[in-house]
């Protein structure tokens, strides 16, 4: 697929239907999450490929916020074979199939595996995980790994 920014994400298996906004890296080079105030928004790393292009598209969402559960609260419940639909500005939809969902400790995060180059169109969905501590936050990240299986045209 050609480059076209994502506008919406749909994951029927965990009842996600949300708008997508661009996100960047912070000054330390870490992925900036989307604003915490909106519990139903997913961020797409605009410094990488758009979902559907060859390469690894990165998207992140919150598990919760001060008001309650957020968009990726159930990300860890995804199973291989589940579909993730990414609507794009060009009115096409990139459909990805989940290969795996893993939990990685933040202090031993596999950057190459999560963010590294791929030879096909892939998608990573990322959120926080583990037991929350008011002092240190979440100790882990939940990462869903998926690959492009089909496209739809509006």
CATH among 2.40.260.10, 2.30.42.10, 1.10.238.10, 2.60.40.10 for 6-153 = 2.40.260.10
Which two structure tokens, joined as six digits, stand for 111?
A: 């950057």
- Cβ-in-10-Å burial (0-12, 13-18, 19+) of 95 comes to middle
- What Rg, from alpha-carbon coordinates, does the chain have? 14
| Residues facing 45 on adjacent strands | 23
The pTM is what? 0.95
User: pLDDT exceeding 70 applies to what percent of the chain?
Assistant: 100
pLDDT tens sequence across 54-85: 999 999 999 998 889 999 999 999 999 999 99
Is residue 42 within 8 Å of residue 59, measured between CB atoms? yes
Which two structure tokens, joined as six digits, stand for 72?
A: 């990726």
pLDDT tens sequence across 84-133: 999 999 999 999 999 999 999 988 988 899 999 999 999 999 999 999 88
Domain ranges of the chain: 6-153
* Residue 67 DSSP class: T
């Amino acid at each position: 697929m050609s480059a076209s920014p994502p506008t919406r994400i749909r994951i029927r298996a965990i009842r996600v239907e949300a708008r997508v906004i661009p996100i960047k890296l912070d000054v330390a080079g870490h992925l900036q999450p989307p604003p915490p105030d909106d519990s139903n928004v997913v961020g797409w790393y605009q410094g990488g490929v758009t979902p559907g292009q060859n390469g690894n598209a990165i998207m992140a969402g919150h598990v919760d916020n001060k008001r309650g559960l957020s968009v990726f609260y159930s990300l860890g419940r995804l199973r291989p074979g589940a579909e993730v639909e990414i609507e794009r500005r060009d009115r096409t939809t990139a459909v990805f199939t989940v290969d795996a969902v893993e939990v990685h400790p933040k202090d031993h995060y596999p950057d190459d595996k999560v963010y590294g180059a791929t030879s096909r169109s892939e998608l990573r969905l990322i959120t926080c995980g583990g037991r929350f501590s008011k002092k240190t936050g979440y100790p882990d990240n939940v990462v869903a790994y998926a690959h492009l299986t089909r496209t739809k045209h509006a």
